[in-house]
Structure 1
Amino acid sequence: MTPDPVERYFAAVNAEDWAAIRDVFAPDAELRTVGAPTRRGVDEIAAHFPAVLAALPVHHDEPTRVVAAGTVVTVEIRFEGRTAAGAPVAFDAVDVFDLTPDGTAIAKLSTWYDTAAVARMVR
């Protein structure tokens, strides 16, 4: 079973509901993405998603496997989308969520994928 904050995270990203993204992260949360500086706090995290996904007006993160161990949740994802020019973009990724001790919000998210391959597809 996928914990509620993780389900709400994927629903918000897929719907581009950036207000809802703010609600799933703890106020002092961290977002670590391969090849990018760590984002700290809800404001930096919420600003990250529309900036990164601007190049991919069509996008969908599909969780394919969820492994939960206490407040740590690892999710394998299949990303599929299209660039503004219509070029397909598809890749696999892994997200590691650290939830708050009470399990109600995301305290830290680490996202892992082949950034070089994705950059080639987006260009």
Structure 2
Amino acid sequence: MSRAAVEAYFSAINAERFAELAGVFADDVEIRTVGAAPVVGRDAAIAHFAKLLAGYAEHDDRVTRWIEAGDAVVTEIDFTGRLRDGRPIVFSALDVFDLREGRIAKVATWYDTRDVRRQVLAS
């Protein structure tokens, strides 16, 4: 059951179907991304992802590894995308999901922020 919520999360993120994304989050979901302030609450999380993904003309989070342990799921991800100006962006990430009653209660995302910043700011 826990993996199903995480699979639904990636499906919704990749297709930018935010109503579906809201359906997999607990009301008090917490989004933690390395180097950023936490985002707390379902509505805040949806707004966060909508704003974040608006910078991409295309994007895909491809899960390359799943680790499941009780109410936690860890995923290794290969992200590929293209910024609005057409430049490509590629990086690897690790997401840790904590689940409660079949919904995502917390997502912690880890990636090389320096490399991503370099790619985004390159001209």
In which range does the TM-score fall when normalised by the shorter chain?
Answer: over 0.9
> Residues 17-96 of structure 1: matches in 2 within 5 Å?
17-96=17-96
Give secondary structure in 2 for the equivalent of 1:57.
strand
Count how many residue pairs are aligned between Structure 1 and Structure 2: 121
Q: Distance in 2 between matches of 1:58 and 1:119?
A: 18
Q: Normalising by structure 1, what TM-score?
A: 0.94
Moved over 6 A (4+): none
The structure with the largest strand share of the pair is 2
Q: Equivalents in 2 of 1:52, 1:13: separation in Å?
A: 11
Q: Partners in 1 of 2:2 and 2:105 — Cα distance?
A: 16
User: TM-score w.r.t. structure 2 length?
Assistant: 0.94
Report how far residue 57 of structure 1 moved.
Answer: 1.8
- Seq. identity, %: 49
- Tell me by how many angstroms 1:2 deviates: 7.0
Cross-structure match for 2:108: 110
For the aligned residue pairs, the C-alpha RMSD in angstroms reads 1.3
Give the unaligned 5+ runs of structure 2. Answer: none
1:41-71 C-alpha deviation (Å, 9 max, x unpaired): 1011000111111211210000000000001
Residues in 1 aligned to 2:28 and 2:50: alpha-carbon distance in whole angstroms: 20
Unpaired segments ≥5 residues, structure 1:
none
> Is residue 26–residue 42 contact of structure 2 (8 Å, CA) maintained in 1?
yes
Amino acid at match of 2:107: L
